[in-house]
Amino acid sequence: MAAIQDILQVEAIETDIYRGPSFPSHLQRTFGGQVAGQALVSAVRTVSDEFHVHSLHGYFLRPGDPDRPAVFLVDRIRDGRSFVTRRVTGVQQGEAIFTMSASFHVPTDTGVEHQDRMPPAPQPHELPDRLAEATEEELAPFREWEKFDIRIVPPERLVRSNYFAAQQRVWFRYREPLPDNQVFHVGTLAYMSDMTLLGSARVPHPGVEPQIASLDHAMWFLRPFRADEWLLYDQTSPSADAGRALTQGRIFDLQGRMVAAVTQEGLARTGRDVPADQHARRPK
């Protein structure tokens, strides 16, 4: 797998037009987190340093070709004193594959402060590193993401709430040190946030292998963080119906600070033939 710094290193090819690099991949479709991360960094490149991204809303329109670079067209929707808005369209071969709106805010504003408590979970060092213990066959689906340390809390150690239909908790981090520039950490978290989240919708349905694909993705960046340090992804799937599953996630750092929130709807369709590589598309 390429380093995340290289994946996020979009190239300026014209004013407000960027090219996201492609890398050798085992996937038939470009990983959604890669498209979202490159689109976000493209938007960041058009915004002054005093503004920090606080939210994004994206739609996956068509499958991306992992062997081709994507071009990202940035529209400068609004430049205000406290907020800046950008719209980004990812294009391959003349067709839009992804669209995103991103909002940026000056972090010097003050106001009320509160957050949910971090849910209980075993510490990441108490859980096995699947790359260290898995067989070659078990490792195959994860080679695409081997630079990410992903540790799913096993069901027998999960503290559940009876009010949620589906719950899952995952520790994750990028395995190698990242530059201090927060852009790399925000882009890396956007990439990582597409990992495992749709898997939470499968928790109440053991043995069922639906066709899965990201349909849309929304994130809110709440507090500064480092993506090369452990983050707990607290995931739920409050509803699944008509071949779609809604999933939500809250992301906490080791100090218990909520640093981001995610909502994603994905395809969760059964009754159709599933492509052979379907279940290797993302860690779950």
11 in a domain, yes or no?
yes
Tokens standing for residue 118: 């971090």
Query: Is residue 116 domain-resident?
Result: no
pLDDT classification of 273: cutoffs 50, 70, 90: low
Of the residues 214, 228, 234, 235, only one is catalytic, namely 214
pLDDT, greater one: 190 or 283:
190
Confidence of residue 137 (pLDDT cuts 50, 70, 90): low
Q: Percentage of residues in the chain with pLDDT exceeding 70? A: 92
- Beta-carbon contacts of residue 180 (< 8 Å; ≥ 6 apart): none
Domain annotation covers residue 118: no
114, part of any domain = no
Tally the domains of the chain: 1
Edge-to-edge strands, sheet with 148-152: 11-14, 17-20, 70-79, 83-92, 95-105, 52-60, 211-221, 258-269, 244-253, 231-241, 167-174, 148-152
Whether the per-residue pLDDT at 278 is higher than 70: the answer is: no
Q: What pLDDT shows up at residue 145? A: 85
Whole-number average pLDDT of the chain: 92
103 classed as catalytic = no
Query: Which pLDDT value is given to residue 272?
Result: 66
Active-site residue, selected from the candidate residues 22, 92, 194, 228: 194
What does residue 235 show for φ and ψ, rounded to 5 degrees? -115, 145
Is 147 a member of any domain?
yes
Share of the chain above pLDDT 90, in %: 83
Concerning whether 75 is annotated as a catalytic residue, the answer is no
CB atoms under 10 Å from CB of 25, counted, come to: 17
What is the Cα–Cα distance from 70 to 96, expressed in whole angstroms? 10
- The rounded distance, in Å, linking the Cα atoms of 265 and 135 is 32
Distance CA 58, CA 47 (A): 18
Task: Compare 26 and 276 and report the one with higher pLDDT.
Answer: 26
State residue 67's pLDDT score. 93
CA distance 127 to 146: 17
Is residue 118 predicted with pLDDT exceeding 60?
yes
82 is an active site residue: no
- The per-residue pLDDT for 94 is 96
Is the model's pLDDT at 17 over the cut of 60? yes
CB 176 within 8 A of CB 237: no
Mean pLDDT, to the nearest integer, of 175-193? 95
Q: How confident is the model at residue 271 (pLDDT cuts 50, 70, 90)?
A: confident
Distances (CA, A) of 201 to 15, 150, 219, 238, 266: 41, 18, 18, 8, 9
**What does the pLDDT average to over 137-147?**
71
Q: Is residue 93 part of a domain?
A: yes
Q: What is the largest CA-CA distance in the chain?
A: 54
Q: Which residues pair with 206 in a beta bridge?
A: none
Burial of 115-130, coded b for 16+ CB within 10 Å and e otherwise, reads eeebbebeebeebeee
Task: Say if 216 falls within a structural domain.
Answer: yes
- CATH (domain of 194): 2.40.160.210
* Catalytic entry in 38, 168, 200, 264: 264
pLDDT score of 283 more than 70: no
Express each pLDDT in 65-116 by its tens digit: 999 999 999 999 999 999 999 999 999 999 999 999 999 999 999 999 999 9
pLDDT bracket for residue 281 (50, 70, 90): very low
- With beta carbons less than 8 A apart as the criterion, state whether 178 and 187 touch: no
- Lowest-pLDDT range of 38-42, 77-81, 159-163: 159-163
| 108: Cβ contacts below 8 Å, ≥ 6 apart | none
Q: Is the pLDDT score of 187 beyond 60? A: yes
Q: Which domain holds residue 193?
A: 4-107+124-280
d(CA 154, CA 97) in angstroms, rounded, equals 35
Count of CB atoms situated within 10 Å of the CB of 164:
15
Predicted local confidence at residue 134, as pLDDT: 67
With respect to residue 115, please indicate whether it lies within any of the assigned structural domains.
Answer: no
pLDDT digits (tens, 9 = 90+) for 204-248: 999 998 998 999 999 999 999 999 999 999 999 999 999 999 999
